[in-house]
Structure 1
Amino acid sequence: MRNITLIVIDSLGIGELPDADAYGDRGSNTLVNTAKAVGGLQIPNLQKLGLGNIVEISGAPPAEAPLASFGRMAEVSAGKDTTTGHWEISGLVLQKPFPAFPEGFPDFIIKEFETRTGRKTLGNEVASGTEIMARLGEQHIKTGRPIVYTSADSVFQIAAHEEIIPLDELYEMCRTARAILTGDYAVGRVIARPFIGKPGEFKRTSNRHDFSLEPVGTTILDMLKESGRAVQAVGKIEDIFAGRGITEAVHTTDNMDGVDKTLEFLGKSQEGLIFTNLVDFDSSYGHRNDPEGYARALEELDGRLPEIIDLISEEKLLIITADHGCDPTTESTDHSREYVPLLVYSPVGKKGTNLGVRQSFADIAATIAEVFGLQTSHGTSFLKEVL
């Protein structure tokens, strides 16, 4: 094996974890509930790989002879956010969740932010991004005050109209917040949420940017880069890892652009890792409680899978998974504490191996490490089970 392509379908959970109650997520099952809500999914390529062999999916029954090995993974780390999920996939397990602020951020944090940026703020509450943008957007335009908000996740989000606060200034404000939010207030991500339009017609743009904490330990990305291999990041992967352990990165406008960029890297066939995040499932549909949109996005991705599989030659491995759940059919608009799917394909690999329930997302990092003769601290490799 010379190359591994790892695709994270952001938020595609497949059922509540045993401790889901502690997170308020009983009954969450992003994939299964979405399929039920739309009367069945049309995802023949994911079905052929074995997605329906992991869990019962309306419209996608088990394949008689799956082309990939299949299973599901539990999250060991505390939390259910994007950063935690991706870090665990990369071999970094967190014992303590990132801090969340269900009552908004302390006054001294907001005052320090306002002092350093020179702008008063609006909001400072837990809210849906689209809702708070619609509610406070007009006041933001009149006053020039950025909208600060958070969610059940460990995030400090700043929404601003691109014609009121230019992108460069918005990004600098995020860097300022990132510098302030340390210690007990070290949120997982500071997120720029730019939008355009007029009141009643506000629309987010693709210029979102995440400012994550640097990983607090060594990841498989660090190891690969240090060993001279390529780590090619697609989508928000560069942001999630604060640029660390990455040799080349491209950002994307949507899921299909993410597929396009992944195909471009696959065509170059460098030794190492292609690490892709497809964020629209989470940001555009999961958080907005839109099962129909979520289903369309899955079917759209499914239609592109043959292009990806065609480029997975004998010396390559394809891994498809997720980082958490975000069930669009539940009352909550936040992430959900769920198992995630695991599909592993190689044209020379074993077909239809049931990988069972993996005890950590870090099994992916351990597998990548074994491929390249490296060693991780967490996870159990499944390489010998799939090749």
Structure 2
Amino acid sequence: MAKTVIVVVDGFGVGAMPDAGTLRPGDLAADTCGHVLDHARTALGRPLRLPVLGALGLGLVHPHPDLARRTHLPVAAGRAALGYPGADTFAGHQTMMGADFSRVTVARLADHIDEVTEALTAAGHRAERLDGRPLLVVDGTVLVHDNLEADPGINWNASGRLDDLAFDGPGGILAIARTVRAVAPVARVIAVGGHADGPLPSYVRPGDGETVGLDTPATGFYRNPGLQVRHLGAPLDHTRQLPELAARAGIPVTLAGKAADILVCGPARRHPAVDTADVLAHTLDAVRAGGDALVVANVQETDLAGHQQDTGRYGRLLEQVDAGLAALVALLAGPGDRLIVTGDHGNDPAIGHSHHTREYVPVLIHRPGADGVELLPDADSLADVGATAAVSLGLDPGGLAGGRPLRTGRRAA
């Protein structure tokens, strides 16, 4: 019996990739992990308490003085380049699970606004530009716009106030988003419904790369209760991704947190959740169930703290994640078990803006029964994480659309 658990700490980067400054030159200084640790020293007067992340080898990947350089656990530690354009949760997870993203393009809504308008009109909606700007008001309530929280052209949103319109059902926010998805060339169309502090048009602003969209954090959607979100991804061959590969081999699959919203696997047990305690609880329950298992869990609140530029909250959440990882390490003790802790992009709360940051992410692999500590070479893509997980489950990584298993690195001193 063997279990492989992948815990994705959303927005947890360990330093800028070489091309991080292409869009925003200041992003070459991005370092989510380092800046959160620095803030704790200043604000709390002590290091963050991250003993398990340290034992899993985070200090071997990131040179921060508050991270231990030695570990007693049998781990392999390295870092991965993202392997997809921009810095985006949906693209990150799909890539990590082995997807081929070569047909997905980067485009502003302005580049396709006539096509989107025609599709909405054909579906029976009324769609018009907001004050002549390149975003649409649909049925007088829902805004279709560039997503300003990811890099320009990665995602589009359909956003509405739940006081004005239902999220589900005919003519609802989700139905409008699905119509947009049918003609959108971008990685993700996101349906967002929530309770705002005022009329949505008052929160529209220009973004980077000549985009125009809704300043979603400013609306109060994230702060006020009742937020509903659905991620509609680009058409991909999900049969060549890790969850489907595992399910076809008879391995039970559990998707927890945001992973349950954005990954496709017909037989999977799904536990969508935003609260970090809930995500960790669902993950632990899946491991305790016994037998072979693939569990993919996403801790989303770290990403939200990055968007809110709340470095202190980010640090507190890392400590909470660390405590949850301690319980997972204790449960995953069989020689075939694996715990992989990684990220999907960066989201540096100290960088001076609320966008994701294009950073390397850690790849920390706990390997019960293995001998010693290994330093892994940099992975070219997050797809290599999925391929490595496939091998740990006894699956052929050649069944994935992308990725190569991470090979043995050098021994840590």
TM-score grouping bracket, smaller chain normalisation: 0.7 to 0.9
Q: Which amino acid aligns with 2:270?
A: A
| Deviation readout 1:339-386 (Å, 9 max, x if unpaired) | 110111133123421113122212222222223232325333237669
Which residue does 2:187 correspond to in 1? Answer: 188
* 1:34 is the counterpart of 2:30: no
Distance 2:178 2:309 in 1: 29
Shift of 1:240: 1.9
Distance 1:76 1:197 in 2: 35
Which residue does 2:396 correspond to in 1? Answer: 374
Distance 2:225 2:52 in 1: 31
Distance 1:121 1:264 in 2: 48
Distance 1:368 1:171 in 2: 41
* 1:265 is the counterpart of 2:286: yes
Which residue does 1:145 correspond to in 2? Answer: 141
Q: Give the percent of matched residue pairs that are identical in Structure 1 and Structure 2.
A: 24
Distance 2:396 2:79 in 1: 24
Q: Which amino acid aligns with 1:313?
A: A
Q: 1:210 aligns with which of 217, 221, 231?
A: 231
Aligned ranges for residues 1-387 of structure 1 at < 5 Å?
A: 2-24=2-24, 25-39=27-41, 40-95=47-102, 98-101=105-108, 106-110=113-117, 112-113=119-120, 116=123, 118=125, 145-149=141-145, 150-151=147-148, 152=151, 154-169=154-169, 172-182=172-182, 185-196=184-195, 199=198, 203=224, 205-216=226-237, 218-241=240-263, 243-244=264-265, 246-282=267-303, 284-314=304-334, 315-371=336-392, 372-376=394-398, 378-382=402-406
Residue 385 to residue 221, structure 1, CA distance change in 2 (3 Å):
farther
| Deviation readout 1:138-191 (Å, 9 max, x if unpaired) | x99xx96123332235222233333332232499533443343346x3222222
Distance 2:344 2:195 in 1: 29
Residue 166 to residue 36, structure 1, CA distance change in 2 (3 Å):
same
| 1:13–1:341 CA contact under 8 A, matched in 2 | yes
| 1:170–1:192 CA contact under 8 A, matched in 2 | no
SS of the counterpart of 1:14? coil
| 1:32–1:58 CA contact under 8 A, matched in 2 | no
| 1:122–1:145 CA contact under 8 A, matched in 2 | no
Which residue does 2:216 correspond to in 1? Answer: none
| 1:252–1:258 CA contact under 8 A, matched in 2 | yes
Q: Which amino acid aligns with 2:31?
A: N
Residue 64 to residue 228, structure 1, CA distance change in 2 (3 Å):
closer
Shift of 1:58: 5.0
| 1:23–1:337 CA contact under 8 A, matched in 2 | no
Distance 1:26 1:265 in 2: 39
Give the TM-score taking structure 2 as reference length: 0.79
| 2:191–2:230 CA contact under 8 A, matched in 1 | yes
Residue 304 to residue 64, structure 1, CA distance change in 2 (3 Å):
closer
Distance 1:221 1:101 in 2: 31
Residue 144 to residue 27, structure 1, CA distance change in 2 (3 Å):
same
Residue 352 to residue 307, structure 1, CA distance change in 2 (3 Å):
same
| 2:104–2:234 CA contact under 8 A, matched in 1 | no
Distance 2:307 2:333 in 1: 36
| Deviation readout 1:231-287 (Å, 9 max, x if unpaired) | 21112223323x3355221111312110011011111124231011111111x2111
Residue 338 to residue 289, structure 1, CA distance change in 2 (3 Å):
same
Residue 260 to residue 249, structure 1, CA distance change in 2 (3 Å):
same
| Deviation readout 1:287-307 (Å, 9 max, x if unpaired) | 122211111111111122221
SS of the counterpart of 1:293? helix
Shift of 1:319: 0.5
Distance 1:238 1:255 in 2: 14
Q: Which amino acid aligns with 1:188?
A: A
Distance 2:325 2:170 in 1: 36
Distance 2:327 2:71 in 1: 23
Shift of 1:196: 2.7
Residue 197 to residue 324, structure 1, CA distance change in 2 (3 Å):
closer
| 1:89–1:365 CA contact under 8 A, matched in 2 | yes
| 2:55–2:68 CA contact under 8 A, matched in 1 | no
Residue 237 to residue 212, structure 1, CA distance change in 2 (3 Å):
same
Distance 2:340 2:134 in 1: 35
Distance 1:230 1:328 in 2: 36
Residue 68 to residue 44, structure 1, CA distance change in 2 (3 Å):
same
| 1:214–1:244 CA contact under 8 A, matched in 2 | no
SS of the counterpart of 1:147? strand
| 1:32–1:57 CA contact under 8 A, matched in 2 | yes
Shift of 1:3: 1.4
Residue 210 to residue 94, structure 1, CA distance change in 2 (3 Å):
closer
